Chain A
Amino acid sequence: MDNLTFGLSLIVVGMGGTLLSLYILTLLMNLLKKFFPYGKENENKEKSREEHRDD
């Protein structure tokens, strides 16, 4: 493979692969935030604290 073909292939696959993999990671972050929202976790903590206080 000559240098130009090598370089262009690496740009297409490498940069494309980087963009795609980081896009997948943004989807992962959105999913994590959806399944484990901040508010709900905090509410649960508050509830357990109150329960301990009642005890």
Chain B
Amino acid sequence: MIEAIVHGLHGLLAGFLHMSLPNVLMIGGGLLLLYLGIKKGFEPLLFVPIGFGAVLVNIPLGGLMEEGGILRTFYDAGVMTEIFPLLIFVGIGAMTDFGPLLENPKLLLLGAAGQFGIFLTLLLALALGFSKLDAVSIGIIGACDGPTAIYVSSQYAPHLLGAVSVAAYSYMSLVPIIQPPIMKFLTTHEERTIKMGVVRSSVSRTTKILFPILTTIIAGLIAPMGVPLIGMIMLGNLMRECGAVSRLTKASENEIANVVTLLLGITIGATMEGHAFLKPQTLVVFGLGFVAICLDTVAGVAFGKLMKVFTRGRINPLIGAAGISAYPMAARVAQIEGQKYNRKNYLLMHAMGANTGGQIGSVMAAAVMLSVLKGMGNI
């Protein structure tokens, strides 16, 4: 009987006995994400489930990510099949108003410039010795778009999924800190004070309905590998604009997006198991992700300056920084920075146009990159 009691007690101590330093460190990492999400308000909808997922998976013998484990089941069913990021895209489309962009279509080009970071970072990652597909997954952090980063890395570098997604969401939440110094450094005082005209809501409903349909067809024909990405975001937007399926629109932007965000977050967190995550490679991924966001901002502002020249001073280059996918944070940063130098300057709607352009731009950049990779025979 004593032997049975000893065995029983051993069972209760097994968790402690199997605890290793990487697990302890990653539980600390998970708690840090929880702190950032709860206390600091950094992307709480994602950091809370990701942080908790990281804590869960680092408790030894829990078996959550082993075959048949609950988080492994969610991961296999939702992340590896790409269902989760694509459902998030439907929600993003349903929440996004492309009106400011349709009002001023040339702002979409700022959304293209904001993707330069993806390709330059990819080159840097290759130079640092990462394999081609790993470099593609790291470069995609520069899309500043969590679901796109997850979509690409889950397909082509699943071993980097945790690092890539946490880096993407971390830097998205740090946009208000990362961008302003770069914006200030690259623009003159005169440029920052440029006032842009008032945006009038003068886009017809037919245009708003046809835009997502035709964009899906055209973008799909140009980059067929990106049809799932562009198709889902545009489906969500079509539902929003047509007004005929308000129940589906509301479900997409609320219930579906919320459930999927929870499951996606916790499964991403579950990829952060100490022994697999704590590698020098992870730090390099984080470093390159930071470079990617900085390069996006540099390219966006530089393109904004170019547009200022071509429009004879009617574009404030600050809105170029909003040409990334971090919506609506990047637009707010442009507005705040603009008002610092000219209190009567209202850049928000223009920046929103560039920001929604950045959303389309990031998806399009990923789609083009995947199609080019397929064309080159790499995937």
Contact = CB atoms under 8 A, between A and B. Distances in A.
Interface of A: 1, 3-4, 6-11, 13-15, 17-19, 21-26, 28-30, 32-33, 36-42
A26 B202 CA distance: 16
A30 B183 CA distance: 29
B372 interface: yes
A23 B262 CA distance: 36
A36 B368 contact: no
Contact of A37 (B135, B204, B214, B219): B204
Given A14-B365, A17-B222, A22 B372 contact: no
A18 B126 contact: no
B204 A19 contact: no
Interface residues of B, number: 46
Interface in B343-372: 357, 360-361, 364-365, 368-369, 371-372
A10 B210 CA distance: 32
A15 B115 contact: yes
B115 A7 contact: no
Given A7-B135, A38-B204, 4 more contacts: A25-B105, A25-B215, A33-B207, A36-B207
Given A7-B135, A11-B123, A37-B204, A23 B222 contact: no
Given A7-B123, A38-B202, A18 B364 contact: yes
A4 B128 CA distance: 11
A7 B122 contact: yes
Nearest to A21: B222
24 contacts: A3-B127, A3-B132, A4-B127, A8-B123, A10-B376, A11-B119, A11-B120, A14-B119, A14-B369, A15-B115, A17-B372, A21-B222, A22-B111, A22-B361, A23-B112, A25-B219, A25-B364, A29-B102, A29-B108, A32-B102, A32-B206, A33-B105, A36-B206, A38-B202
Contacts of B115: 15, 18
A8 B120 CA distance: 9
A26 B361 contact: no
Contact of A41 (B122, B204, B211, B364): B204
Contacts of B108: 22, 25-26, 29
Given A21-B223, A29-B102, A38 B203 contact: yes
